[in-house]
Structure 1
Amino acid sequence: MDRQVCGILHLAKNVNSAEIQLLSFKFSLHSHNAYWYFLTLINVSLIIYFISYVHSNIRYYSIFSGLGLKTVKECKPSSDAVCGALEGNYCIDPYEGGCRAAKEHTTCKPGHFIKHPGTDSTDTVCEICPERSFSNGSSISCTPHTDCESKGLPTIKPGDSVSDSQCGNKSWEMIVFLSLLGMSVLLLAGGGVIGYFFYIKRKRKQPNRVRQVWHFCAW
């Protein structure tokens, strides 16, 4: 009888031990699954957030694609970025208080001046220089040509719409040339006066010579 009772108790003890081990394994298994489930959930959440972030910032990244834009207002999860034209550009595609595309201001060509400087919304307006003035295209007005004659200088090259007049210098060669020219004019004038004087004097002597010839023939 005692042996039977002991056997039953031993069997019950073994059964309880097996149940405890089974429960421990199930708990361990559930804990392991819960851990991996938690990690998977975090990874999926991060992927979804990243995709949403990139999608909401596509236009923000396009700012740096060479469209001549700058960031005026940073993008947020609830609103898009606001872009504006970079310095030296003007907006050609305004959109919801910002700009989606910009273009570089027109550069005025030589011979033109800047009539209206460009802004962030308008292009530069150029105009041709009037006569007797010039510009390299970067000024807001044209510069009159230098008047060489008013300065007593010779004009080597006349001015045009892109360059100024080029004046010569008062050199010794020019002074000597002008001096020789003046002396030549004086000599010619003096020679002419002297020649005219001898011509008049000779003409006055001709009637007396005619009388002498006539008197000789009469004899």
Structure 2
Amino acid sequence: MTGAPMPEETDRDELLRGKRRIASHAAERDYAPVARSLLWKLGYAVLPAEELPNPELRIVREDRLPEVAALAPLPVVLITDRREPGAGDARVVGTVRRPAGVPALYQLLQTALEEHPRAVPRVPVSLRATATSGAQSYALEVRSISEGGCLLAGAKLPALDQSLDLAIEFPWGETLRAGAVVSYEQGGRVGAVFHGMTLAARARAAKLVGRLLEQL
């Protein structure tokens, strides 16, 4: 008969429930500050390889590729110091320059592991928002947000393909104002894609979303 799991194993499995398991063959200094912590909040458990059974993908510093050669063949995201890495390894699905930051890692993890990959992180939230479209106005709640758009709920919702002027209130007092188009409906909510944003406005949106992510 198989013995019961050790308490620490039980705790670990519970902690990892719902997370994608990523084995890290890299040092903490190979990642941007708090990158692994933010990825955890986005659903990716990036842990030292020796602490993680049955990973789905490996993040490997380039000079440590030989140590994974004999391991089970899994997709590899490579961390490198070079501008033009030449790993020549069929397992490598993407390369990130050191120190590896969240945007690049997130996009590669999404592409490698998710059926419908996202290009940028989407953060679950509950934020007040208002929208206008011609003579119509809407009192809304933002349920999730990324630098590219948001998911909206409310008693009265705009129609598909409707253009909006959105104002989203953040907990620390800032407001994001953006043009948007309702592009899809999902479970009684609608998804709006930001449009017409300048590079500076998009950078500000990304910064606001990043701050939300840090507060999760």
Q: TM > 0.5 between the two?
A: no
| Length-normalised TM-score, structure 2 | 0.20
Give the number of the structure whose residues are more often strand, by fraction.
2
